[in-house]
Structure 1
Amino acid sequence: MRRRHLIASGLALATGPLLSRAWAQQGAGAAAMPAPGTAAPGADGTPQPPRRAHALSLLGEPALAADFTHWPWVNPAAPKGGRMTLTALGSFDSFNPYILRGAPAAGIGQIYDTLMMPSPDEASTEYAHLAQWVELPRDGRGVTFVLNEAARWHDGQPVTAQDVVWTFNTLRQHGRPFFRAYWGDVAEVVAEDARRAAFRFGNADNRELSQILGQMPVLPRHWWEGRDFTQPGLTVPLGSGPYRIEGFEPGRSVTYRRVADYWGRDLPTRRGTQNLDVMRYDYFRDATVALEAFKAGQIDLRVENVAKEWATGYDFPAARRGLVKREEIRHELPTGMQGFAMNLRRPIFQDRRVREALGLVFDFEWMNANLFYGSYTRTTSYFSNSELAATGLPSEGELMVLSAFRGRLPEEVFTTEFRVPASDGSNNNRENARRALGLLREAGWTVRERRLVNDKGEPFSFEILLNSATFERVALPYIQALQRLGIEARVRTVDPAQYQVRMDAFDYDMTVELFGQSLSPGNEQRDFWGSEKAREQGSRNTLGIADPIIDALVELVIAAPDRQALIDRTRALDRVLLWGHYVIPHWHSRSFRVAWWDKFGRPERNPRYALDLQSWWVEPAKDRALPADRNVAN
């Protein structure tokens, strides 16, 4: 699901599901499509049984064998107990995170299990979890998940294949538009018996689809019978996961308690994780207030997304006494694209020259030195911090992809290295401003009486919509730079719930958007950039891109037959997006900045692609050593 605006970091802790890509398929040109889970005929006409696997990986064999006992980085003997209180911003009014309406409670995903469990230590691998194993027919046109017979809902009833079928159909029909895009190549799903859920695919080209389906949370059909799935609400739902909702105050806090008899507690995908007895999320309207709550000891741990606060905000008595720890934990996550996003549905942003001009006057170098303490790296790709990012001139493989569209793409895509505008950091940026004015004149805008207007005398005016006052200190210097061009820009900051409603309805001019990416992009690209999704409210195509060339490139990415083809096609897509100037790129960090009250133990290392707080635990001796009233430590 969409993770909006960890805006001052350029880094999401999770970028939605791990967008892995499934096993390479064979026999894509087969004339007949056998039912999922059945044998496809071999070359000699004899049936070939489906492959059975404990894990799915696009990039070769999974790192862990079928008999692995726990994730390599966790402490399997970690003690259970204690509590962790975290911060959430805004408010909530729903325990259903899968529909367009309502603001879902933080942490609600912890009450559900998924069919497979992504490994945050591998780029594109999932391991059996709710499913005991998976079966893949030889023609690649389906997948069957065989459920663990021990799987149980919190009311003791078994998790069945009928639950899987009901969940899939319900989410595709009534869930957020994301699901329809993500699962678009599934033709049908059937429950072959109580434990076997079989999916049939419309073709064998979508190599990641088996893993995409493995990421699906399974919901209880029997609990939802007689309830309206499309309505948000605060009725406590039934789950099967390691936590259940213990209590909540609407809009203020939600508390989850570990399920002592959780059916999956000894699975290798769970051992050494979910160690806290209680996980609580306290809501705050403002990030500044949330930081003060952490200092006062009301919050146990926070991930800091504001560079200024990280540099200056943690010098308080408890930290100086060593009661609060801080660390920058390195990661290898692709950092995607964060930037000022323009809504192409607005006429003023429909000219590429205008969009390029707006990017020219954004002075990252000055901001990084004066606002961010030099802690960020400028983002230059939609697939930053990964091998998928386009660099230099197009390679031979990229040119093979792009040549089909020559004459319909800007010639710079083929001949010029894309570079984000740079300045000397003086906050004058005069050369870039001159270039910007030239582009604006070409697009039909002129300066009259210090205002930029079109041939009808209408001013160039727009609003930057934000969901946190934290980002105003970045937007305001940018607005000042725009004013020098005669552009009337203004900031409007609204609460997160109102912000989400407006974004779902595409009711904005410019905003800060984050497009998270994985090392294996695929179906989610349709939702980001697809023409059909530009018209579907609630989709992730918030930019409003509707370009048949981009549609074609997205389909090429999804159908990439091997890793090198995926790299070439993704880089080609990246180049086209960059030269479209749809966003004004911001920055990213390659570390998690974490501060915590010193009562936790944690594994010796962190997985490569996530901040795995679920593998932390409370050390009782440390917990007892902290003041009962932590505020007195300050």
Structure 2
Amino acid sequence: MRPARRLVSLRFPVRLLCTLLLLLSVDVAPVAAQDDGPLISSTSYAAFGRPKYAPGFTHFDYVNPDAPKGGTYRYANTGSFDSLNLMNLLGTAPLGLVVIYDSLMRRAGDEPAARYPLVARSITYPRDLAWMEFHLDPRARWHDGRPITPEDVIFTIDQAKGLVTPALKRVQTAVARTQKTGPRSVRIYFTAKNSPSLPTTVMDMWLLPAHYYRTHNIMAASLDRPLASGPYKIGKFSAGRWIEFERVRDYWARDLPVNKGRHNFDILRQDYYRDGTVANEAFLAGNSDLKFESSAQRWDTEARMPVFRSGQIKRELIPYSNASLYVGIVMNTRRAFLADRQVRRALMLAYDFEWSRRVLLKGHHGRITNFFTNSEFASRGLPSGEELKLLETVRDKVPPELFTRAASFPIGGSWTNRRANIVAAAEILRSAGYRIANGRLLDRRDQPVTLNLVSYSPLMDRQVSLFIENARQLGIAVNYRSFDTAQFRQRLRNYDYDLLLNAPMFAGYETPSYGMTLMWGSKAADTPQQFNYPGVRNPAADAMLSAMLTARNRETTVAAMRALDRILLWNYYAIPMHHIYPAPIGQMPVTYWDRFGHPARQPTYNFSFTSLDTWWLDPVKDARITQGRYQ
């Protein structure tokens, strides 16, 4: 195994235009002044700092611009799908369906905060960011050949305002109104001024064709192939079993700098399996091409297989700079028992990470210690500087120990430590007004406490087996239940659980925006289909989210996010478990059949394992593979 070696933000001042010219991309130029001051025109955008790629760049640094096209990339998913409509509320769409869609601008994979031209070839905006005008590329086309128009952008935003789908729901919170300003331009007014992250919400949304949805119900679960404009379109499929995405050979944006050297496979095929064990066997049989490792339990035995020893299967550590995906047990504060912070603290003591890591994880996985681990948003030590100033504004709304102690987690790993943690947890529950009778914990109405822990896989029961036993010693009955994909998503959408074991959760944003309010904002707690799984209704957290959204510089954004992380940790909304990958934090291990070429540098943000869009099929290597031949 040879690890990859390389690890691979615009401030908007209030006064001086010359400062704007320095901090924006070098292609920024002032245009005609209006009542709100000089306007800025640019072909790129960074929420903070300066875009890495200057105007006229030809391709991203992490691609091979001469990569050959062709071949098939096969990926094994677990679960199922019963709809091809990403916008509906009831159906389950295939993972990676977004590959058929374009957005107004495209983010780079080797910097955290920048966007570059795609459907919008340039932008104009005032210095207070009250609005942004997008000038559409006249070449932009839907797959049926019709041009992408301002009406399509307005239609997408209007539909997003009526949808609960989390990926588009944040558009509703960002956009106040829209206005067509020309045959190929649209102005979008934001719900707040001076918020550099708001425009990225609109830049990243996938675009929908208004003319297509005049005859198709956007809210219906459907297996009709949706019309889009991206590099792929839906080809053959068998509902719930497999689906193929076909490369659009006359894709209008194939030669744009953001796409050069990408989208190299003719076919992206996804096969669906009932659980991860079967999917892993399919990979070893040569029926899928790549898997990202989430468990080290099979590593030693697999490494002795002939295909590993011969080099036909390779392993590689790919660095990533995103916040690590959160794996843990979420406690649903919508339930009366779990609404008590002290109860949640007691349950935290019932989880023994050290034992799980040693016995179940073979010592490979590190522990998630923050909600934003592996990012600059993770809180450290005691609050200071700008973070402390923000927390002082909510001092009466946060636990007092937040200011005097760094957040920490119980230490287990031995019988002595585990017993001490259980005794401490029992004392906390007793002080909170609960009592034990006949071995059962009784609530304040003298009813036995029973919690349902739901999961997406029966294989996760081992990960929580000791937690369930420790909870039993506290008098709490924890019933473990796993569900198929459709049932599990339905429970997530309606927050129908007491405890939730869902891996991964709380995806980290390198440039946080309104999407964070859908995870931690009070308004999202009672709205179905959001990511606020714990049901957080915390005025201090809301204040930090507001500070983050209105930040005019990266320093304030980081301080607000660290303060938010600290508030979440001290309120015990979830029990952190282990790094999703059996590798050090910040590294993603992948195992793949050695039939591909790929650049020496990899994108360090948002590695696209479902489409592998910077890799390509190497015919010479492919000819050496003795298993899993393409049909």
TM-score past 0.5 threshold: yes
Aligned counterparts of 1:193 and 1:310: Cα–Cα separation in 2: 58
Instruction: Give 2:177's aligned residue.
Output: 188
User: Is structure 2 residue 450 aligned with structure 1 residue 450?
Assistant: no
Q: Show the counterpart of 1:5.
A: none
**1:90 maps to what in 2?**
79
Q: Kindly tell me: are residues 270 and 629 of structure 1, through their superposed partners in 2, closer, same or farther at Cα, counting changes over 3 Å? A: closer
1:520-531 to structure 2, matched below 5 A, reads 520-531=511-522
- Between the aligned partners of 2:128 and 2:322, the Cα distance in structure 1 is 33
- Decide whether aligned partners of structure 1 residues 64 and 141 sit closer, same or farther in structure 2, where only a CA change above 3 A counts: same
Q: Deviations over 1:540-588 (max 9, x none)?
A: 1121111222222211111112111112211111111111001001122
Partner of 2:4: none
- Tell me the amino acid that sits aligned with residue 97 of structure 1: L
Post-superposition Cα deviations, 1:469-527, rounded to whole Å, max 9, x if no partner, equal 23111022211121222221121010011100111011111012411112322311211
- The answer for the alignment partner of 1:338 in structure 2 is 327
Match of 1:68 in 2: 57
> 1:378 Cα shift?
1.4
Match of 1:11 in 2: none
Distance in 2 separating the partners of 1:360 and 1:610: 34
Q: 1-side partners of 2:97 and 2:34: how far apart?
A: 44
Determine the structure 1 residue equivalent to 2:615.
616
Looking at structure 2, the residues matched to 253 and 426 of structure 1 have their Cα atoms a distance apart, in angstroms, of: 47
CA deviation vs aligned residue, 1:275-325 (integer Å, no higher than 9, x gap): 001100000111100001111111111112223234544543322222111
2:590 to 583, 594, 606: 594
Maintained 8 Å contact 2:350/2:421: yes
Matching residue's letter, 1:617: W
Q: Deviation at 1:135?
A: 1.2
CA drift of 1:447 comes to: 2.1
Partner residue in 1 for 2:138: 149
Equivalent position to 1:309, from 295, 298, 302 = 298
The worse-fitting range, judged by mean Cα deviation, of 331-340 and 487-496 is 331-340
1:266 aligns with 2:270: no
Question: 1: CA distance between counterparts of 2:488 and 2:240?
Answer: 16
Aligned residue for 1:231, secondary structure, equals coil
Write out per-residue CA displacement over residues 379-403 of structure 1, whole angstroms, 9 at most, x where no aligned residue. 2211111221111111132221111
- Measured at CA, do residues 538 and 301 of structure 1 come closer, stay the same or move farther in structure 2, by a change above 3 Å? same
Match of 2:509 among 500, 504, 518: 518
Q: Determine helix, strand or coil for the equivalent of 2:206.
A: coil
Contact 1:22 1:209 in 2 (8 A): no
Partner Cα distance (2:485, 2:136) in 1? 38
Corresponding letter in the other structure for 1:24: F
SS class of match (1:624): helix
Q: Is 1:373 the counterpart of 2:362 in the alignment?
A: yes
Q: Distance in 2 between matches of 1:462 and 1:628?
A: 47
Q: State the distance in 2 between where 1:90 and 1:25 align.
A: 48
Paired with 2:233 and 2:617, the residues of 1 have a C-alpha distance of 19
1:218 matched to 2:207? The reply is yes
| Secondary structure of 2:297 counterpart | helix
Aligned partner of 2:625 in structure 1 is 626
- Within 5 A, what are the aligned runs for 1:162-177? 162-176=151-165
2:311 maps to a residue whose letter is G
Task: Show the 5 A alignment for 1:132-143.
Answer: 132-143=121-132
Paired position in structure 2 for 1:249: 238
The answer (yes or no) to whether the contact 1:178–1:527 under 8 Å persists in 2 is no
**Alignment gaps of 5+ in structure 2:** 1-8, 17-29, 580-584
Matched residue SS, 2:298: helix
Among 46, 52, 55, which residue is 2:44 paired with? 55
Deviates more, 1:311-320 or 1:502-511: 311-320
2:390 matched residue in structure 1: 401
The equivalent residue for 1:276 is 265
Deviation string, structure 1 residues 372-428 (Cα, Å, up to 9, x no partner): 122222122111112211111111322211112223321111111111111244586
C-alpha distance in 2 between matches for 1:590 and 1:481: 31
Q: Distance in 2 between matches of 1:85 and 1:157?
A: 31
1:325 to 305, 311, 314: 314
1:606 aligns with 2:622: no
- TM-superposition CA deviations, 1:414-454 (whole Å, max 9, x none): 11111111124458611111111111101112222222223
Q: Is this contact kept in 1: 2:329–2:499, CA < 8 A?
A: yes
Q: Hey, what does 2:12 align to over in structure 1?
A: 24
Instruction: Compare 140-149 and 455-464 and name the one that shifted more.
Output: 455-464
Q: Does structure 2 retain, via aligned residues, the 8 Å contact 1:600–1:619? A: yes
Higher mean C-alpha deviation, range 308-317 or range 402-411: 308-317
In structure 2, C-alpha distance between the alignment counterparts of 1:582 and 1:592, rounded to whole Å: 26
Rounded Cα–Cα distance in structure 2 between residues aligned with 1:202 and 1:610: 28
Q: CA, structure 1 residues 22+187, in 2 after alignment: closer, same or farther (shift >3 Å)? A: farther
Q: Matched residues in 1 for 2:477 and 2:304: separation? A: 39
Number of equivalent positions: 599
Q: Tell me how far apart the structure 2 counterparts of residues 629 and 301 of structure 1 sit (CA, whole Å).
A: 12
Q: Give 1:597 deviation, angstroms.
A: 1.1
Paired with 1:376 and 1:615, the residues of 2 have a C-alpha distance of: 28
Counterpart CA distance in 2 for 1:75 and 1:114 is 23
Q: How far off its partner does 1:23 sit?
A: 5.4
Deviations along 1:599-628, one digit per CA (max 9) or x if unpaired, are 111111212223242000000111122226
Write the deviation string for residues 119-146 of structure 1: whole angstroms up to 9, x where unpaired. Answer: 1100111111111111122332111111
- For residues 431-510 of structure 1, the aligned pairs below 5 Å read 431-510=420-499
> How many Å apart are 1:175 and its aligned residue?
4.5
- Aligned partner of 1:285 in structure 2 is 274
CA contact (8 A) 1:22 1:210 kept: no
Secondary structure of residue in 2 paired with 1:307: coil
Structure 1 gap segments, 5+ residues each: 1-20, 29-36
- Distance in 1 between the 2:557 and 2:576 partners? 24
One-letter code of the match for 2:520? W
The answer to whether the 8 Å contact 2:379/2:563 transfers is yes
Shift of 1:62: 0.6
Q: Is the 8 A contact 1:333 1:385 kept in 2?
A: yes
Aligned equivalent of 2:100 = 111
Deviations along 1:234-292, whole A, 9 cap, x unmatched? 00111111111111001100101111111111111011010001100000111100001
Assess, with a 3 A threshold, how the Cα gap between structure 1 residues 422 and 262 changes in structure 2: closer, same or farther. Answer: same
Contact 1:191 1:198 in 2 (8 A): yes
* 1:574 matched residue in structure 2: 565
- Choose 243-252 or 104-113, whichever is displaced more: 104-113
Cα offset, 1:593, TM superposition: 1.5
Q: Distance in 2 between matches of 1:570 and 1:89?
A: 33
CA drift at 1:48: 5.0
- Percent identical pairs in the alignment equals 36
1:517 is paired with a residue whose SS is: coil
Shift of 1:61: 1.4
Please tell me the residue identity of whatever aligns with 2:398: L
2 CA distance for matches of 1:629 and 1:382?
Answer: 40
* One-letter amino acid of the counterpart of residue 511, structure 2: S
Give me the TM-score of the superposition, normalised by structure 1.
Answer: 0.91
Q: Decide which moves more: 267-276 or 453-462.
A: 453-462
User: How far apart are the structure 2 equivalents of 1:628 and 1:453?
Assistant: 58
